[in-house]
Amino acid sequence: MSDSLLTLILDQAFGILALICTVVSMQLKKKRPLMIAQTMSEAFIVAQYFVTNAMTGSYLSIVGFVRNLVLTRYDKKRAPLWILLALYTIMTALTALSWKGPLSILPFVGSLIYAWSLWYGQVKWIRVGNFVGNSPYLVYTALTGNYVLFAMTLFEVISALVGFIRLDLLGKPQKRRRQNR
């Protein structure tokens, strides 16, 4: 098997595993399992970028992985504000170091939004943050011609929206109806 074929297979396998973890995470009701699935997804994304030698993507994903590990510790309460500010500082520095023009703002803004939702900590807002924060990534991947990542991000955005509707909008009124009986 040639190195390029092995790289392609590993790239796609890690991408599929990341997608599965992310889609499943957006359908979970509790924060801790959601964060564990998101952390696993970030680990697969790091591996995917590393296999393809996309080091900037790998570095940003390592930050996402560490972010998720740190914020998973705060299952029952919100993490201190300094953690969010430190994440924002690191993301700003990495964006500045990897700046490729105004288009670089899209993933940066998406990352800021999603980091805030994870820091805020309520599962409902994590789903909203995933949906809103990944929307700039959709534009970014389409404009940069990364259609495989576009498709994966689209599945993630759809899963976050479905999870929000199913668990946060429709799930709560049913609970109230049962309690009123």
Task: Identify whether the C-beta of residue 19 lies closer than 8 Å to the C-beta of residue 48.
Answer: no
Q: In which band, very low, low, confident or very high, does the pLDDT at 180 lie, cut at 50, 70 and 90?
A: very low
Task: Identify whether the C-beta of residue 22 lies closer than 8 Å to the C-beta of residue 153.
Answer: no
Helix 55-72 vs helix 81-97: angle between axes, to the nearest 10 degrees?
180
- Summarised one tens digit per residue, pLDDT across range 118-130 is 999 899 999 999 9
- Measured at the CA of 92, the angle between CA 86 and CA 98, to 5 degrees, comes to 135
pLDDT for residue 49: 80
Provide the 3-class DSSP secondary structure of residue 53. coil
Task: Identify whether the C-beta of residue 131 lies closer than 8 Å to the C-beta of residue 98.
Answer: no
Domain interval for residue 132: 3-180
- Structure token pair of residue 6: 């092995």
65 vs 146, 167, 176, CA distance in Å? 22, 25, 36
Q: How many domains does the chain have?
A: 1
Q: Minimum mean pLDDT among 40-44, 104-108, 155-159, 171-175: which range?
A: 171-175
pLDDT at 181 over 70: no
Task: Identify whether the C-beta of residue 98 lies closer than 8 Å to the C-beta of residue 56.
Answer: yes
**Is 160 exposed, middle or buried (CB count within 10 Å of its CB: 0-12, 13-18, 19+)?**
buried
Percent of the chain past pLDDT 70, that is, above it, reads 92
pTM: 0.80
- Summarised one tens digit per residue, pLDDT across range 48-78 is 888 877 766 677 788 889 999 999 888 788 9
Cβ neighbours for 39, distance < 8 A, ≥ 6 positions apart: 65, 68, 69, 72
